[in-house]
């Protein structure tokens, strides 16, 4: 048996819970973190008939967050989890991705989404507000008998041994189960304690987000498109959310301010002063947004190991990635369905299940992390390199450019059967 403490003053509640658990049947799968990845994992487990206990640190969920793009590899999973119908009224389904020169406003390329990508991959490309995605997952969790949800649980101890695992909170509350999934984000205390103490590294850029009513904007911004504006060292992306009533805006630019805060308010003039000279329509859009939240962008190498014994990491706790491929949330959805399939496949051997989960996920996640970094470099090119990029985007057929991402959007989980 091993007992590890996040809080050096913690008592032995986890050890006691572990001892008690050995006297009965294996308990539920414990999931630390009630974000997108944690809730999706609970639902995926429930679809496999496996009970879970979700332990969320916050006393209540807050309706905050940025827009989120969900490619076919993600919407396919939402359909499998049974939340697609709940979310559908709140999403946008853009017809295209418009790539523009941020300084002149000229369109460089228009890449197909909408019907084209849905036909190609058997699932749509959605854009949504993160709070709407989380709300749909949360509603499904709260109506699922196999899932229990506890709020205000801040983990302080973990104990494991002999096929059981337990986690205790600073309050003394403790839970035991057959497995522990740490889905507690990029700053995961459980990753630092149990797997890798490396801290996320600030990459010298921040992202700022805002949402504005679409009816307050000129017709140019009411097109059913995702639009990205490219500059040297900066880009802006926006798309319709909340059923097409609002426009989500994200600005990514150089910044010296490092922080772990996901929702740090910043005044509009900070965004306006930090932006390079830009096309008049985009300048007007930036001026229209009155409320901005900023988060610093961090990188962390994909760890060699994120599963050991009865404990595994999921989502940003395992593999945080930069937002230049719009796949961070979707990778958590993929993780969720694969870990549930693994625990169903090896129903009587949790360590084998979690090893299989890591083997399935690590190569793909590494590829997505590399592709995201590469996209970021391409977006932020300057001078002759930017001119060459724009030339290629203009000359290559749009469908051919999109087909280069078949490996990403065409992903499907391996069908498994219990062993």
pLDDT in tens, 32-70: 999 999 999 999 999 999 999 999 999 898 866 778 999
pTM for the model: 0.93
Window from 59-63, 221-225, 248-252 with minimum mean pLDDT: 59-63
Cα 89-95-100 angle, rounded to 5 deg:
125
Of the residues 239, 346, 379, 409, only one is catalytic, namely 239
CB distance 157 to 175 below 8 Å: no
- Residues 6 or more apart in contact with residue 105 via CB below 8 angstroms: 279, 280, 281, 282
Average pLDDT of span 314-333: 96
- Residues 6 or more apart in contact with residue 135 via CB below 8 angstroms: 63
- Residues 6 or more apart in contact with residue 88 via CB below 8 angstroms: none
CB distance 221 to 236 below 8 Å: no
Separation of first and last alpha carbons in the chain: 27
Fold exhibited by the domain 67-128+201-298+381-408: D-Amino Acid Oxidase; Chain A, domain 2 (3.30.9)
Number of other CB atoms surrounding residue 164 within 10 Å: 24
Window from 126-135, 160-169, 355-364, 371-380 with minimum mean pLDDT: 160-169
- Between CA 116 and CA 118 the distance in angstroms is 6
- Respond yes or no: is residue 239 known to be catalytic: yes
- Between CA 350 and CA 352 the distance in angstroms is 5
Say whether domain 2-60+151-199+306-374 belongs to CATH 3.40.50.150: no
CB distance 413 to 338 below 8 Å: yes
Torsion of CA 92, 93, 95, 98, to 10 degrees: 50
What interhelical angle do 72-81 and 328-345 show, nearest 10? 50
What interhelical angle do 114-121 and 72-81 show, nearest 10? 70
CB distance 182 to 30 below 8 Å: no
Q: 288 versus 9: which is more confidently predicted?
A: 288
Going by pLDDT thresholds of 50, 70 and 90, the confidence category of residue 97 is very high
Going by pLDDT thresholds of 50, 70 and 90, the confidence category of residue 159 is confident
pLDDT in tens, 325-355: 999 999 999 999 999 999 999 999 999 999 9
| Structural domain spans, the chain | 2-60+151-199+306-374, 67-128+201-298+381-408
């Amino acid at each position: 048996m091993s007992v590890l403490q996040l809080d050096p003053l913690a008592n032995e509640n986890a050890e006691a819970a572990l001892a008690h658990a050995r006297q009965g049947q294996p308990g539920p799968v414990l999931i630390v973190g009630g974000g997108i990845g944690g809730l999706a994992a609970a639902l995926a487990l429930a679809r496999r008939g496996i009970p879970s206990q979700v332990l969320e640190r916050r006393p209540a969920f807050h309706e905050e967050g940025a827009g989120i793009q969900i490619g076919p590899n993600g919407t396919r999973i939402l359909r499998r989890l049974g939340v697609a119908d709940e979310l559908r009224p709140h999403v946008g389904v853009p017809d295209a991705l418009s790539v523009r020169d941020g300084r002149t406003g000229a369109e460089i390329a228009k890449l197909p989404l909408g019907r084209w990508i849905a036909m190609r991959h058997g699932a749509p490309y959605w854009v949504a507000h993160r709070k709407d995605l989380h709300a749909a997952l949360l509603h499904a969790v709260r109506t699922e008998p196999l899932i229990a949800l506890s709020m205000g649980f801040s983990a302080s101890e973990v104990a494991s041994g002999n096929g059981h695992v337990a986690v205790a909170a600073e309050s003394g509350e403790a839970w035991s189960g057959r497995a522990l999934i740490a889905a507690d984000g990029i700053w995961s205390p459980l990753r630092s304690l149990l797997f890798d103490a490396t801290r996320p590294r600030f990459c010298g850029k921040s992202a700022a987000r805002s949402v504005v009513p679409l009816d307050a904007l000129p017709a140019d911004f009411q097109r059913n498109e995702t639009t990205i504006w490219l500059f040297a060292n900066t880009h802006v992306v926006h798309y319709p959310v909340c059923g097409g009533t609002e426009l989500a805006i994200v600005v990514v630019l150089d910044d010296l301010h490092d922080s772990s805060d996901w929702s740090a308010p910043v005044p509009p003039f900070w965004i306006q002063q930090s932006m390079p000279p830009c096309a008049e329509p985009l300048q007007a859009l930036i001026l229209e947004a009155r409320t901005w939240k900023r988060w610093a962008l961090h990188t962390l190498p994909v760890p060699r190991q994120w599963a050991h014994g009865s404990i595994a990491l999921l989502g940003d706790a395992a593999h945080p990635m930069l937002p230049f491929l719009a796949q961070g949330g979707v990778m958590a959805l993929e993780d969720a369905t694969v870990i549930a399939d693994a625990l169903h496949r090896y129903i009587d051997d949790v360590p084998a299940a979690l090893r299989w989960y890591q083997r399935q996920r690590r190569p793909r996640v590494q590829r997505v992390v590399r592709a995201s970094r590469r996209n970021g470099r391409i977006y932020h090119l300057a001078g002759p390199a930017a001119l060459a990029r724009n030339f290629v985007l203009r000359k290559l057929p749009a469908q051919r450019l999109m087909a280069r991402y078949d490996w990403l959007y065409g992903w499907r989980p391996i069908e498994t059967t219990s062993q």
